[in-house]
Structure 1
Amino acid sequence: MSLPVLVAIVVLGIALSVAAVHFTGGSKTATLIDPDQALRRFAEDFPDEAAGAIHLTADARTAFLHLGRGRVGIVHSIGDCFLTRIVTAADVSVSSSEETSTILMGLKDFTWKGGRFRFANAGDAQALRKALEARQSDATKEAA
């Protein structure tokens, strides 16, 4: 078999494999339908945790759950799956954005560094920012 024919067969095979994954839902991004779905998904990984307020981002890819005792639960979609985390003030850094409905969050977790989260209204962003900043200042006081 000549080299050009072999290359064509390999390229066609790879293209068909990628197309098959895409058309069978492999490139689909998971989204949260409502806060109850976020709570159910979080409870699968952390069944003993009770959540208070739940804030969904505007794109419905991330939910933040207030857990009390200086902790926040996160449900974030990556591909067609959800990643869940519990973070404390020591685990995150929160900064403001020019947009009042957006927060920038960095995590010390090497598996997920956080990101930019935009909410449907500024009230949700403000509540989450306030909760995380209050927890950060409490942790700073305890460390001193």
Structure 2
Amino acid sequence: MGWPIVIICVLIAAMFYMRMKARADKDRREPDAGIAILDFGRAFPDEAIRAIHATADEKAYFVRLHDGKAGFMAAHGTHFVCHLIEAGKVNVGNVTSGRGLSVHFTDFSHLDGVYEFESPDIAAEVSLWLLGSFHPIFEPVQAR
């Protein structure tokens, strides 16, 4: 006599679980540039983003900051891992396709990888951000 009640309760619980899972899946968003900018702003509130470029698959974003520094964001679920690139802490190489960069972060190596962009122009611009952000500070030489 008790088995039908147990089966009905299990069926109701299963339906409730499937409904809640469907609602959670609907609310889950894919990461995009807006979320990337918000996450970077939360991680580094004193840094102002000047420009941003996404990889071709939009799983990573490279940013140029207001003071010439560069940053990087990699998608993990619906949020981003944000990294402020420090001088001397990145190695950049080209890839055979011409649209990508091989990036090695010496202080954050789990983000290393080959990042492909929509065009070779974007890859070149990002490489200049990464390499140009590390200009040493020289004292101006006085002419005699």
Which sits farther off after the overlay, 47-56 or 62-71? 62-71
Structure 1 position 70, deviation (Å): 4.2
2:120 aligned residue (109, 119, 122): 122
- Shift in alpha-carbon separation, 1:37–1:99, aligned structure 2, 3 A: same
Structure 1 position 92, deviation (Å): 0.2
Structure 1 position 113, deviation (Å): 4.2
Q: Which has the higher helix share?
A: 1
The residue aligned with 2:47 is 49
Structure 2, gaps ≥5 residues long: 1-20, 139-144
The residue aligned with 2:87 is 89
Letter in 2 for 1:109: D
2: distance between equivalents of 1:93 and 1:100? 17
Structure 1 position 118, deviation (Å): 0.4
Correspondences of 1:1-144 after superposition (within 5 Å): 31-33=30-32, 35-110=33-108, 112-136=110-134, 138-139=135-136
- Which contiguous aligned blocks of 4+ residues in structure 1 show a shift greater than 4 angstroms? 23-26
8 Å Cα contact 2:61-2:72 kept in structure 1: yes
Letter in 1 for 2:74: H
* Equivalent pairs, count: 116
2: distance between equivalents of 1:117 and 1:60? 10
2: distance between equivalents of 1:132 and 1:82? 19
State the TM-score, normalized to the length of structure 1: 0.67
Larger radius of gyration, structure 1 or 2? 2
CA RMSD after TM alignment: 2.8
State the TM-score, normalized to the length of structure 2: 0.67
- Shift in alpha-carbon separation, 1:60–1:31, aligned structure 2, 3 A: farther
- Shift in alpha-carbon separation, 1:31–1:76, aligned structure 2, 3 A: farther
Which sits farther off after the overlay, 37-46 or 100-109? 37-46
Give 3-state SS (helix, strand or coil) of 1:89's partner. coil
- Shift in alpha-carbon separation, 1:110–1:121, aligned structure 2, 3 A: closer
Letter in 1 for 2:131: E
The residue aligned with 1:20 is none
